[in-house]
Amino acid sequence: NRYIWLSRHGESQYNLEGKIGGDAALSERGIKYSHKLVEIVDKYIPNHDRLEVWTSTLKRTQQTAKYLPFPKKQWKALDELDAGSCDGLTYDEIAEKFPEDFKARDDNKFEYRYPGGESYRDVITRLEPIIMALENQENVLVITHQAVLRCIYAYFMNVHQEESPWMSIPLHTLIRLEIKAYGTEVTRIKADI
Ligand code: G3H
């Protein structure tokens, strides 16, 4: 059987402030996770001597991968859903400054495209090369962002793509997908930090 390993970046400064988007650094707790991840990989990923680590081009995923002693690859296609004019705002600020957008997103989170940014559907489209590469590879740990992981997760779990925005992808948890002939089994390994 084949495994795919997924993790969100560690908690970032923006996560603490409730802001979306941006290119913030990790918080203290996020840095703890980046250290803990080394132990977790060592303990839970078999054949990790052949592991490859994929990140986005954003600081918080690279900082999370920092202490992992494996070959790394950065993909622009793994960057977080682009929130356009709402980048750097909290959800409260979005509701106040762009009330119509806030409502439109609530009505159809999958299709809603941020002004000058992306929708979940857009993210799925740009993830196609990543998903193709993951279909052909083993021993990959993908460290990326919540919205992106929701889409990758839904794909491998055979969940309808329209449901991607509601997949639960918690912080500080390594997700193991075991790809079997008749479906995917998921194991979540929570970091104790
Ligand atoms: O904007 C990026 C967030 O990680 C995704 O959260 O789609 O639930 O707002 P949301």
The complex's ipTM works out to: 0.88
What would the pLDDT profile of 39-58 be if each residue is shown by its tens digit? 999 999 998 999 999 999 99
Q: How many CA atoms lie within 13 A of 42 on its CB side?
A: 8
Q: Report, as residue numbers or ranges, the catalytic residues.
A: 9, 80
83 lines ligand 1 (CB under 6 A): yes
**Exposure pattern of 144-182 as b/e (b: 16+ CB <10 Å)?**
bbbbbbbbbbbbbeeeeeeebbebebebbbbbebeeeee
Mutation to probe ligand 1, out of 8, 17, 20 (largest number of atoms < 8 A from CB): 20
pLDDT digits (tens, 9 = 90+) for 98-126: 999 999 999 999 999 999 999 999 999 99
Give the C-alpha distances (Å, rounded to integers) separating 88 from 17, 22, 25, 150: 10, 6, 13, 21
Please give the Cα distance from 21 to 115 (Å, whole number). 14
